Structure 1
Amino acid sequence: MAEAYPAEGRPRRRGRKLLVGFVVLLLVLAGLLVVADRVAAGVAERAIADQVRQELAKQDAQSGAPKVEIGGFPFLDQVLAGKYERISIRLTDVRGNVQGGVVDVPRLDVDARDVTASLDTIRSGRGDVVAESVDGRGTVTYDSLAKLLNRPGLKLAERDGNLAVTAPVDILGVKLTVNGTADLTVNDGKVALRFNDLTAEGLPNVAPARTLLSNYAKSISIDVPLPELPFQLNLRKVEPTPEGLVIEADATNVPINSAG
């Protein structure tokens, strides 16, 4: 009678099934941790967005709903450490009152880096949330700038990397179209527009006509008062683009939960 031996492959198959099951369990647990991490981040993002809305209201500014994103992964590790790599805030359709006029900023992006906030502050909403550095980039529409200049028919646009102006004028009874570009600088937190070289085809070649054109250039050369920027941002650069006048600002050691 032949002696029966256990199948050699059976323990291997059983061990392989256990290994596969263990790997599947780890993947499920990892997936649950990722979901929990993202849920926690979402709660924090909504809380920060609500604080930003409140601060904008204090500044008498309007905007669309803020969109907040907390960078870095995993989020829960950052909570335990009380240190966050990056918090990005996007504001759209920002409008702020400036000396009776309105400046439109279709989009303002703010990046806060190396943000410190204790676990107790995140949980209670009390305490300081401080960013080591904050950078902001926004776009001011040319239409709102033109309204501040208050010259009928005046239009601003980007041309070859410069801020260009076109406007109808009446000089010595002659209707002309003025063209030119502006020098752009940042002056004491304001955008300085200086129109130094304006031309007008058909301008009478007499001194009074040239003086009137020069005076017109001076009248539209102003320091543009921008709305107060959130997060203590200080204007440092301005650049004309096809979409509008792009402004860049920054700040250091900023309490971002009291943006005013």
Structure 2
Amino acid sequence: MADSYPADGGTYGEKPRRRRGRRALIILIILLLVLGALLVVADRVAAGVAERVVADQVDQQLTKKNVQASAPEVTVGGFPFLTQVLGGRYDSINVVLRDLQGPVQGTNATVRVPELTADARNVTASLDTLRSGQGEVTAETVQGTATVAYDSVVALIDQPGVELREQDGKLAVTASVRVPILEQNLTVRGTAKLTVQGTDIVVDVDQLTADDLPENPLVQSFITGFAKDLSVKVPLPALPFDLELQEVRPLPNGLAVTGSARNVSLSEVR
């Protein structure tokens, strides 16, 4: 009896072996995908734990400085996170604080900071600190930006009818003033120079003008004096992370002040 062979010239049993090989490869790929997904989930869970620990530590700092704010929003950067945990060093941690309010020493005013964003780099925190929530969390550098609401600045100026706004990258000032010499009210306009002095923002109104302002030396002198009355120092509430103010600029929603610090503790050691 003659032997029979597959029509394609192969041998019986070859196709089942190929199917088994492909099936094993598919199973291996699925297992690797599942393992990768589990590692990503574990990585994000660990990052979430670290974010909660840092948020708690920052909240303690604010309480100690008598500063009120919404709950800190913390985001840990860098991936994979687990390798950072094992090394105890993290690429970056971003902290957002909203609605900061703190007393201004020597006044009844309260300076309102709608938002403060801090970017901490090269952060060190031990695994034990993350596990227990106790210990030191330090950053090599911190860059921060805080926004001061215009209504807080106007409250400190304490003059009726004052408006502040950003215009062409400058701080524009508008105010209404009663000029006794003319026995009438004038709407005066000008710009203010912004500088940083220690922990204060200095708003310096050096020149004002008005429509149809008469060239009367007495009137001009009065307007110059009124400009000085509009100038003010804006002391910020105690900022976290020991930020040192560096620059201030006007934005549509307020004055944005930037600061930085080195070798900063993000925590309160307990």
TM interval, shorter chain, is: over 0.9
Structure 1's consecutive aligned runs of 4 or more residues displaced over 6 angstroms after TM superposition are none
Cα displacement string for residues 199-227 of structure 1 (whole angstroms, at most 9, x for unaligned residues): 12243432222111111111121221111
Partner of 1:244: 254
Structure 1 position 129, deviation (Å) = 1.2
User: Which residue identity lines up with residue 48 of structure 2 in the other structure?
Assistant: G
| CA-to-aligned-CA distance 1:112-153 (integer Å, 9 cap, x gap) | 000011222222233321100001112111111101110111
CA distance in 2, matches of 1:44, 1:252: 21
| 1:62-108 C-alpha deviation (Å, 9 max, x unpaired) | 22221110000111110100100000011112222213211121111
Overall identity of the aligned pairs, in %: 51
Pick which of 52-61 and 247-256 moved more: 52-61
Instruction: Give the residue type in structure 1 aligned to 2:91.
Output: E
Q: Which has the larger radius of gyration?
A: 2
* Structure 2 residue corresponding to 1:138, chosen from 129, 135, 146: 146
- Output the CA distance in 1 between the equivalents of 2:76 and 2:2: 70
Which of 165, 182, 185 is 2:192 aligned to?
182
Match 2:125 to one of 117, 139, 153: 117
The question of whether the paired residues in 2 share the 8 Å contact of 1:176 and 1:202 is answered with no
Q: Letter of the aligned partner of 2:195 in structure 1?
A: T
Distance 1:112 1:147 in 2: 32
Residue aligning to 1:155: 163
Q: Which residue of 2 aligns with 1:229?
A: 239
Separation in 1 of the partners of 2:159 and 2:3?
108
Report the counterpart of residue 258 of structure 1 in structure 2.
268
**Matched letter for residue 27 of structure 1:** L
TM-score (norm 1): 0.94
Q: What is the distance in 2 between the residues matched to 1:85 and 1:63?
A: 26
Report if aligned partners of 2:43, 2:81 keep a CA contact under 8 Å in 1.
yes
Q: Match for residue 8 of structure 2?
A: none
Q: Report the Cα distance in structure 2 between the residues aligned to 1:167 and 1:186, rounded to whole angstroms.
A: 24
8 Å Cα contact 2:60-2:268 kept in structure 1 = no
Distance (whole Å) between structure 1 residues aligned to residue 116 and residue 217 of structure 2: 46
Unmatched tracts of structure 1, length 5 or more? none
Distance in 2 (alpha carbons) for counterparts of 1:133 and 1:22? 44
Q: Output the TM-score relative to the length of structure 2.
A: 0.91
Structure 2 distance, partners of 1:258, 1:250, is: 19
- Deviation at residue 3 of structure 1 after TM alignment: 4.2
1:158 maps to amino acid: E
The residue correspondences of 1:186-205 to structure 2 (distance < 5 A) are 186-205=196-215
Q: Which residue of 2 aligns with 1:107?
A: 115
- CA distance in 2 between counterparts of 1:143 and 1:188 reads 22
Task: Report if the CA contact (8 A) 2:176-2:187 is conserved.
Answer: yes
Matched residues in 2 for 1:59 and 1:46: separation?
Answer: 20
The CA deviation string for residues 32-87 of structure 1, in whole angstroms up to 9 with x for no partner, is 11101101111111122122222212222222221110000111110100100000
2:198·2:244 contact (CA, 8 Å) conserved in 1?
Answer: no
Alignment of 1:48-67 (within 5 A): 48-67=54-73
Q: Show the counterpart of 1:40.
A: 46
Letter in 1 for 2:17: P
Q: 2:57, 2:266 within 8 Å by CA — same for their partners in 1?
A: no
Runs of 5+ unmatched residues, structure 2: 5-10
What is the alpha-carbon distance in structure 1 between the residues aligned to residue 173 and residue 219 of structure 2?
19
